[in-house]
Structure 1
Amino acid sequence: SYGKLTPNKFPEDFLFGTATASCQIEGAWNLSGKGENMWDRFTYNNPELILDKSNGDFACDSYHKNKEDVALMKKMGVQFYRFSLSWSRILSTGFAYKINPDGIRYYNDLINLLIKNDIILLVTLFHWDTPQPLEDLGGFTNALMVDWFEDYARVVFENFGDRVKLWLTFNEPKQTCLQSYDQNRKAPGYNSSGIGGYLCAHNLIEAHVRVYHLYDTEFRSKQNGKISVTIDTHTGWKQLQTQQTIRRQLKEDGRFW
């Protein structure tokens, strides 16, 4: 049975918030030590694949307008803000041996500003913006990405975990893997149907597990936070399906995950 929905009323503990992704809003794609990510390369090399031929050079210019953005959220009564960190802004090459102090400063300032305005932080480690040097090595089709992602997460937890209490490892991993490596639809634009998507899924799931346990064993007791993942799915909730098609879809979902 389904719970009864009452019109015009949300539960008392319901939180209203908003969400963004770093590569969609920040701009400042090559300022203050930020390295190139796969969307920078993809949109420059393939402008015809973007409807208006735009890229992330400026985007919403949130890198320079974060104070205005937070003021607008405060005015709107936003209770929480889900945003992602740019791996390339924190680690210019993608590797943890080169931490970018300007990137750390930028996110420290944003985090402190949100806390000052009583806005709850929900921070995503990865929202589809692999550093290009790592993408050149195969991105999430390369099993070494598990180690590189763990290294990146450790830097993030060490620098921001004293204030951030809600973490997400990945945003929409299914779309990241299918559209990046299986369907040639989004950056980095690989077309390896039946292979690339599954390699990505395997490595991405392992990376999530690795970072979950990293937080659980080394940071949770000190920082008292929680960590999860944003799952997306296409199971046809809006259309009637036969038991046969439902079983077929569940079988395919099971193969993917």
Structure 2
Amino acid sequence: MPGEKTMPKNVLLFCYLAITQNPVSCTTKIRRFPEGFMFGASSGAYQVEGGYAEGVDDGSTGDVAADSYHQYQRDVELMKELGLDFYRFSVSWTRILPRGFADSINQAGISYYNNLIDELVRNNIKPFLTIYHWDMPWNLQVLGGWTNPFVVQLFTDYAKVLFDKFGDRVKYWVTVNDPRKACSDEFNADIKAPEANNTGIAVYLCAKNILLAHAQAYHLYDEKYRKLQNGTIGIAINQNWYEPASDTIDDYQAAADARQFEVSIPNLCNI
């Protein structure tokens, strides 16, 4: 609000309860974040875009959602008001390549993401682009999705389109968002890919291929685009943390095994 004082983002407010009957007291303590620390927000295309009938052949996407497809300028305005340094968003594979293959690029999809990226840059907000956040074109899903080894190359082809179209402005790339959940949810539960979730074996096939796809896209960027575009690329890993149920050696080992099972991924940069 006009005239209202705002607290700088390197100040944290601590409140505490006094031992006596005094009311709650608050004290301000200055704690500075490291130089270069960035504040931001993140989203996924399916979660926020909507615009299901805008330049997409098939109407089986996220319908309206948060309508970011039409409201992206206001979204960026809100980010600027919050003082964000970056915005991590994902690109819908289907919106860029409706049939899943790089021989048919949807220009309307390219234009949408160009507009979003330009709006972010114009407002001094760094775009962080996630290449895959769980929305695979249906044509590829019926071929087995991530259980099909050919999808590794198709993902790399898709990533190349994004590097070519947006890499002049995007300097932060994420290949895959939460690969463990992408595989365990998609092929182990009745929520994402009913055509393929018929056996636990699919989870392991998915994990192998999704990591190979990450590695191949990483090397493509590292070898062809990094020097030219001066960006960086990685993967977004998620995990659950497990503690032993008792002090027994077996329970400690079980907790350690469970943690490793979720996040013990080899040095992906050297695959």
Distance 1:239 1:67, change over 3 A: farther
User: What is the CA distance between 1:204 and its match in structure 2?
Assistant: 0.2
Indicate the SS of the match to 2:101: coil
Equivalence map 1:168-179=2 (5 Å): 168-179=174-185
Count of matched residue pairs: 234
Residue equivalent to 1:85: 91
d(CA) in 1 for partners of 2:58 and 2:130? Answer: 19
2:191 maps to 1:186 = yes
Residue in structure 2 matching 1:105, options 103, 111, 122: 111
Structure 2 contact 243–252 (Cα < 8 Å) conserved: no
Residue equivalent to 1:11: 33
User: What is the CA distance between 1:253 and its match in structure 2?
Assistant: 3.8
- What is the identity, as a one-letter code, of the residue corresponding to 2:207? A
d(CA) in 2 for partners of 1:109 and 1:254? Answer: 36
Task: After superposition, give the CA deviation of every residue in 1:1-54 in whole Å (9 maximum; x if it has no partner).
Answer: xxxxx976341332111000001110011212x2449xx37xxxxxxxxxxxxx
Residue equivalent to 1:29: 52
Indicate the SS of the match to 1:109: helix
Residue equivalent to 2:23: none
Indicate the SS of the match to 1:65: helix
Equivalence map 1:1-257=2 (5 Å): 9-13=31-35, 14-32=37-55, 34-36=56-58, 40=60, 56-181=62-187, 183-189=188-194, 190-236=196-242, 242-250=251-259, 252-253=261-262
Structure 1 contact 35–91 (Cα < 8 Å) conserved: no
| TM-score computed with the length of structure 1 as normaliser | 0.84
Q: Which has the higher contact order (CA 8 A, sep 6+)?
A: 1
Indicate the SS of the match to 1:96: coil
Give me the identity figure in percent: 41
Indicate the SS of the match to 2:193: coil
Structure 1 contact 80–120 (Cα < 8 Å) conserved: yes
User: What is the CA distance between 1:157 and its match in structure 2?
Assistant: 0.4
Structure 1 contact 111–121 (Cα < 8 Å) conserved: yes
Indicate the SS of the match to 1:157: helix
Structure 2 contact 242–258 (Cα < 8 Å) conserved: no
d(CA) in 2 for partners of 1:130 and 1:71? Answer: 30
Indicate the SS of the match to 2:205: helix
User: What is the CA distance between 1:247 and its match in structure 2?
Assistant: 3.5
d(CA) in 1 for partners of 2:92 and 2:57? Answer: 10
User: Which of the two has higher C-alpha Rg?
Assistant: 2
Unaligned runs of 5+ in 1: 1-5, 42-55
Write 1 or 2 for the structure with the bigger share of helix. 1
- What is the identity, as a one-letter code, of the residue corresponding to 2:45? S
d(CA) in 2 for partners of 1:193 and 1:214? Answer: 32
User: What is the CA distance between 1:193 and its match in structure 2?
Assistant: 4.2
Structure 2 contact 238–263 (Cα < 8 Å) conserved: no
Quote the RMSD (CA, aligned, Å): 2.4
| TM-score computed with the length of structure 2 as normaliser | 0.80
d(CA) in 2 for partners of 1:238 and 1:225? Answer: 41
Distance 1:173 1:194, change over 3 A: same
